Structure 1
Amino acid sequence: MKHKNILIHGYNKTSSDMKVLKDNLEKLGHGCIILDLPLTYHKLEHGTMLLEEMLSDLIKDLKEGEKLNLVGHSTGGLVIRHLLSFTSHRKYIDKCILVATPNRGSDFANLVGRIFRIAFKKYKTLKSIQSCELKRLGLGDECNDIDIAAIAGNNNNLFFGNLLREENDGRVTVKSVKIEGLKDFILLPYGHKDIHYQPVTAELIDSFLRTGKFKVD
């Protein structure tokens, strides 16, 4: 039985940013639901609690043996990780995939915190994804009983990427995406804002959902 796939957008985006990925996955036979979360002006924790409530409603409609897969782009992946750290719905979650997610903290948010901290008064999600803030959330044990994989990009096609010394996708370093405990990890030659639009990304997600591994034909 194929499970339902929940797609979660990143910082300062809406569900429309995940529509291409949704369409690509549906062409491969997967049912997808895209959600809108307040990931601009509110703390990350607020978005996570709303996701928990949304999952509570979705779980009511699951068929016997059916589960949920969670796929998040960028900050959406952090919402997934935070959710897994406390949710009462773990038994209904099968696999999770993090796409270009700053798992060790966003270098962009870290930079804003150093030179333009007043911005955090308005953009509270941005403040939440600083390295120091993620440490406060105590993430790290999410992979214990749920298979989690990550996809990173290394096409530095954004101005901010030039300020980063390490390999990056223009916004997030490869090192920040790759963390311990992942079931699989793969690097693609795309940038932060377009990696989730690529057909190959959907193909890799499809592979992991079916086999537990990223397999490229």
Structure 2
Amino acid sequence: MKQFFSVGTGLTLLFFLSSFCPAEETSPSSDKKKNEKYSAKELVMKTMGGRQFWGDVQFFQGWKIQQHVISQHYRLLDPKDQRHASGSLADCQQRLEEIKAAEQLPPMRGKAVILVHGIIRSSKSFVKMKETCQQKGWLVVPFDYPSTQRTIPENANYLGKVIQSLEGIEEINVVVHSMGGLIVRSWLAQQDVVDPRVKRMVMLGVPNQGADMADRFRSNLLFKAIFGPAGQQLVTEVNSDFISNLPTPPFSFGVIAGGRNTLKGYNPLIRGDNDGTVAVSSTRLPGAADFIMLPVLHSFMMNDPETISYTLRFLETGVFRDSGKPQPIPVPQTVTVP
């Protein structure tokens, strides 16, 4: 019981949670219109939320099919998060095909950008990044997964299904925040051959070496209840080798870290410079084509204008700076003992 009621631990955990859970922005809702295209049998309904219990398994032009982690049933959502079907996967796929024909939805093609959120968050946390990518003419895939209900490898399975569903897309780029980067690396571990369409990835505040704060709170009952099984996998190598065994992406990737460029970062509980949640040193993954540190807090990186600018430049050119000069993170040379 001391774990729950220690004032110091409680306040520290509250600070930690607040860094993950600011209010998520949503796009302005449009006026409600009567939908006369569908019969009462296919009544269109606004979802009731519960994003932590649904994982995406298929995507098409903003439409997505999701699976519930407990009941295992599926639902079909339109780009405005309105439900158009519910039941088996086959039911939802059939309904999607009917809608494709009725609305004459064009096939997907060109370049897609998958946005992968972090733990406790949802794709809504990428609203400004999404809008900016769409202005480039890219198809944006706002990937949702039950981050607190399943392990990182289990959530990576959802990502794999979504990537498989992107038929017609010629190039795939990925932008990941926090644990989202570990989801992608876990997906890579599950592949015999990585989809050759995946070209570039930008990592925003990803704990590639684990998170000190997860080490601190991993035994706390409240932390376990809120962050779930994936939260236990965010610890550093001192407590687990899960993250250290994840593969390095075989495609070009860049790392953006948040920090103050001082010996102490935004959070005094984290060793060295940090963004309030993840240490700068933890974001550095050897093999990165480029690295840059910006004065931005962890939870606001995805919608920070400067971060978005650097992210888009890397997706287009493979470097962060307009000078074209990268600052790669070298892979340590192994010493062979004769």
Which TM-score applies when normalising by structure 2? Answer: 0.57
- Offset at residue 109 of structure 1 (A): 1.1
State the 1:160 CA deviation.
Answer: 8.2
Is the 8 Å Cα contact of residues 4 and 33 (structure 1) preserved in structure 2? yes
1:86 match: 190
* Distance in 2 between residues matched to 1:137 and 1:113, nearest whole Å: 15
Relative to its length, the structure with more helix (as a share) is: 1
Q: Distance in 2 between matches of 1:140 and 1:147?
A: 16
Please identify runs of 4+ aligned residues in structure 1 that moved more than 4 A: none
Q: Give 1:69's aligned residue.
A: 173
| Change in CA separation of 1:174 and 1:2 when aligned onto 2, cut-off 3 Å | farther
Residue 176 of structure 1: how far off its partner (Å): 0.3
* CA deviation vs aligned residue, 1:111-145 (integer Å, no higher than 9, x gap): 1125x1674366111112112476235545423x3
Q: Does 1:128 align with 2:233?
A: yes
1:214 to 1:134, Cα distance in 2 relative to 1, 3 A: farther
**Does the Cα contact within 8 Å between 2:205 and 2:258 map onto a contact in 1?**
yes
Bigger-Rg structure (1/2): 2
Structure 1 unaligned blocks of 5 or more: none
Alpha carbons 1:28, 1:206 under 8 Å: kept: no
Gaps of 5+ in 2: 1-108, 324-338
Work out the number of aligned pairs and report it: 209
* C-alpha displacement of 1:216: 4.1
In structure 1, the partner of 2:278 is 172
* Equivalent runs, 1:9-48 vs 2, <5 Å: 9-48=117-156
In structure 2, distance between residues paired with 1:189 and 1:21: 18
Please report how far the alpha carbon of residue 103 of structure 1 lies from its aligned counterpart in structure 2 after TM superposition.
0.4
Residue in structure 1 matched with residue 336 of structure 2 by the alignment: none
Work out whether residues 24 and 199 of structure 1, in 8 Å CA contact, stay in contact via their aligned partners in 2. Answer: no
Contact 1:82 1:139 in 2 (8 A): no
In percent, how many aligned pairs have the same letter?
Answer: 25
Query: Hey, what does 1:103 align to over in structure 2?
Result: 208
The secondary structure found in structure 2 opposite 1:209 is helix
**Distance in 2 between residues matched to 1:109 and 1:165, nearest whole Å:** 13
Shift in Å, 1:49: 0.8
TM-score (normalizing by structure 1) = 0.86
Give, in whole Å, the separation in 1 of the partners of 2:210 and 2:123.
Answer: 23
Task: Provide the secondary structure at the position in 1 that maps to 2:292.
Answer: strand
Residues 85 and 139 in structure 1, CA contact (< 8 A), matched pair in contact too: no
What is the aligned partner in structure 2 of residue 153 from structure 1?
A: 258
Alpha-carbon distance in structure 2 between the residues aligned to 1:2 and 1:14: 25
Kept in 2, the 8 Å contact 1:67–1:92? The answer is yes
Bigger relative CO (Cα 8 Å, ≥ 6 apart): 1
CA distance in structure 1 between the partners assigned to 2:246 and 2:156 by the alignment: 16
Task: Tell me the CA shift for residue 186 of structure 1.
Answer: 0.5
